[in-house]
Structure 1
């Protein structure tokens, strides 16, 4: 149980998919909106990405270890994981819209489709055979870490919009500098867990 908790914390804070490996960076750099609308959009994207990572983690683990390995078709894992990371998106967004009607889940389909973190999570989980519970902890930690970085980056972007930023740094340059500063801040967690 301790290993699962350490995996969850390590994936969310130390080995963050957005900061450690640049997977799923595209939602961070999308255009800024009104502060209140962006806050709700960030939470909707964080919840949907976390749910998609959990769903994709379970389906990918089950398909790889319980279908491809017994049949000896492990070389086809990428051909199986690509549809598994794309097909549940519309069903998941419809279910989340019904469950949480106050959040704007419409328009998130392209961001979830192009999120390389979902596929990267499944590919990383396939290479380490530590069980379904470990893969669930990895998926949940990756989703929560993505949501955390998305929220922090949204707050930091709102601060830069309201401050006097030099003309040469406005837009994408200050966003990239901000992402780098958040990544440096997350490096402080690297000594948190000793193996």
Structure 2
């Protein structure tokens, strides 16, 4: 599907440039776009390597385990069935901590393991729903990709987005948890009527 959309955009750009007599501007845009793409990619690669290195040092120093231990009481309220049954609690806590520190690559295997363990217990259905929703919109302390893009675009203060993103992600998580609880409430009501 994306290939078709891209083909239509490129073809229509070429046709309109030809009809309007702007082929030289189209050629310049292609060359400049390719150059900008390489520059942004190299800048992002460097910044992401730096941040992943810093975050891996923090992980090696035990910060992820500390965040996991601190977040346990909160996660116990978000995932009551899982924590009550003791199913996948370590993976859920580690996934939360990894996402919080921006370790998306480390969070994915832990998230898959947590979902696998939660799927083994039929009482954890609503916790699985909540976990999958929160895995897509986690609280993230260091949004490395956005900081890198802002830096590559020449922003004078690329780190100025940390506080607004933290507030926004907290609000999103609260809304997501509330929505999951509402869905679980109505789903439980339907199951009782059966």
Q: Which structure has the higher relative contact order (CA within 8 Å, separation 6+)?
A: 1
Higher helix share: 2
TM-score band, normalised by shorter chain: 0.3 to 0.5
